[in-house]
């Protein structure tokens, strides 16, 4: 039976690196059960392609210029598009995994995953099952036990990571030093750390904040 006559899982790939798109396409198209119906290099084109082609599964890069993976997930949700999404990333930061699942991703794979795992993930997600295994699952479980930072706490944490003092943060936000200290205490409690330096380091490691280049 020819490949296009069988019930292949139709996959769309969204990644800004040409080598990744080419490699994934070659690897997946060599499998009888999968057909790559297209590749795109950014989130905007991914949403458009999903609308036009209705792939079964979207392999979505988390970090892309312009519209990133999380923004793409939100756009797909806003348009009520039913394509199931697997995040494909070079990163395993707790917050990236958590936010991806919160926004509707059904799978999360690292880009160095094996071919067998990739195919297992595509088949599982296509069947309506989540695919988050091993260390990724453990990091997600740990992240789900922690409370979310408020928008203000997140803002203060970014300023701490940039080296601002409590007094400077208070001045920028037009709040009192005491209010900054209260927010900092809440941040440290939620991140389970003992000081502001550890809070900033932990937040960067876990993907809660990202310092601009």
* Domain's final residue, options 97, 127, 144: 144
pLDDT of 176-198, one tens digit each? 999 999 999 999 999 989 999 99
Looking at residue 2, its pLDDT comes to 40
Segment among 14-23, 138-147, 169-178 with least mean pLDDT: 138-147
Same-domain status, 30 and 112: yes
Condensed to tens digits (0 to 9), the pLDDT of residues 75-124 reads: 999 999 989 999 999 888 888 899 999 999 999 999 999 999 999 999 99
- For residues 115 and 193, state if they share a domain: no
Are residue 77 and residue 162 in the same domain, yes or no? Answer: no
Above 90 in pLDDT, residue 6?
no
Domain count along the chain: 2
pTM of the model: 0.76
Q: Which domain does 126 fall in, by range?
A: 3-144
- Same domain? For 76 and 15 the reply is yes
In a domain, 213, yes or no: no
DSSP letter (8 states) at residue 110: E
Whether 173 and 93 map to the same domain: the answer is no
Whether 13 contacts 36, CB under 8 Å: yes
Q: Which helix (H) or strand (E) holds 17?
A: none
User: What DSSP designation does 80 have?
Assistant: T
| Whether 74 and 105 share a structural domain | yes
Distance of alpha carbon 199 from its chain centroid, rounded?
21
Give the pLDDT confidence score for residue 212 in this predicted structure: 64
For the sheet containing 9-14, what is the strand order? 34-40, 9-14, 57-61, 84-89, 107-110
Q: Where do the H-state alpha helices sit in the chain?
A: 18-29, 43-53, 69-78, 94-102, 115-126, 134-145, 151-161, 166-173, 177-191, 196-205
Percent of the chain past pLDDT 70, that is, above it, reads 96
Are 93 and 134 in the same domain? Answer: yes
Tokens of 205: 């490691």
């Amino acid at each position: 039976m020819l490949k296009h006559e069988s019930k292949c899982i139709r996959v769309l790939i969204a990644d800004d690196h040409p080598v990744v798109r080419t490699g994934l396409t070659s690897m997946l198209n060599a499998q009888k059960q999968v057909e790559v119906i297209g590749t795109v290099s950014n989130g905007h084109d991914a949403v458009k392609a999903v609308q036009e082609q209705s792939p079964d599964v979207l392999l979505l890069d988390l970090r892309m210029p312009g519209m990133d993976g999380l923004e793409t997930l939100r756009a797909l949700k806003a348009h009520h598009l039913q394509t199931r999404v697997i995040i494909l990333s070079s990163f395993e930061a707790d917050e990236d995994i958590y936010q991806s699942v919160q926004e509707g991703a059904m799978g999360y794979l690292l880009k160095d995953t094996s071919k067998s795992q990739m195919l297992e993930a595509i088949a599982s997600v296509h069947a309506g099952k989540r695919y988050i295994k091993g260390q990724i699952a453990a990091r997600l479980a740990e992240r789900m036990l922690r409370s979310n930072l408020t928008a203000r706490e997140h803002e203060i944490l970014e300023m701490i990571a940039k080296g601002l003092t409590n007094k400077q943060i208070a001045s920028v936000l037009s709040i009192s030093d005491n209010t900054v200290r209260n927010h900092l205490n809440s941040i440290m409690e939620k991140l389970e750390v003992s000081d502001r330096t550890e809070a900033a380091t932990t937040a960067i490691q876990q993907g809660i904040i990202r310092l601009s280049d």
